[in-house]
Amino acid sequence: MLRINSQTALWILIILQALCAFFFLYDGIFDLLGPEGEVESRYSDRFEYLIAAVLIVSVVFTAIQLQNMFDRQKRIEDQLMIASGAFAELLDRHFDEWELTPSERDVAMLAIKGFTIAEMSKLRDTREGTIKTQCNAIYRKAGVSGRPQLLSLFIEELMADGLDEKPAPSKN
């Protein structure tokens, strides 16, 4: 089965719309200069010309907006990759500064991701008491009183520093 992604499907539809618009324009011109050789245009012919012109303008405008939308989507995806990379680097840097053990790093990551003590215990195949002890060690080393402060520490730092990469300027 042939699978077409949404971007390709949209471009195919734009091309089909353009072909229809040009066929409509060709039909109007053929009516004007057709075999009868009529130079005068009837009211309905003028309406056809207007519709063809509007179709062509709308195809061009839609194609430009579609390309802008795809460019924006690509920039957003790039920014997301940069942000996630920056967040991972920030985590590693702090974990190194706090001298977290490998187990504490794993628990810290799970805590930041929002897992409960019970979920972390199950994932790590460890007792809940061990997870609680590791969480307390993490909070102590980080200088925070709990998970919300731990997470806000990273969010505040990311927001204060901003991203190194700047988005591409808008084409408007």
Dump the DSSP string for 61-125.
Answer: HHHHHHHHHHHHHHHHHHHHHHHHHHHHHHHHHHHHHHT--HHHHHHHHHHHTT--HHHHHHHHT
Pick from 33, 18, 26, 16: nearest CA to 48: 26
Distances (CA, A) of 41 to 45, 51, 53, 82: 6, 15, 16, 59
Where does the pLDDT of residue 99 fall: very low under 50, low under 70, confident under 90, or very high at 90 and above? very high
Interatomic CA distance for residues 134 and 140, integer angstroms: 10
Contact 164, 85 (CB under 8 A): no
Q: Is 146 helix (H, G, I), strand (E, B) or coil?
A: coil
Q: Give the model confidence (pLDDT) of 80-95 as tens digits.
A: 776 777 778 888 888 9
Quickly tell me which residue has 């997301």 as its tokens.
Answer: 80
Does the pLDDT at position 134 exceed 90? yes
> Taking the domains of the chain in order of start, what are their residue ranges?
1-75, 99-172
Structural tokens at position 68: 């802008």
User: Per CATH, is 99-172 categorized as 3.40.1160.10?
Assistant: no
Instruction: Find all residues with CB under 8 Å of 154, minimum gap 6, and list them.
Output: 87, 90, 91, 94, 112
Most confident of 30-34, 58-62, 91-95, 138-142: 138-142
Q: Give the model confidence (pLDDT) of 35-88 as tens digits.
A: 654 545 566 667 777 777 778 878 888 888 888 888 888 888 877 776 777 778
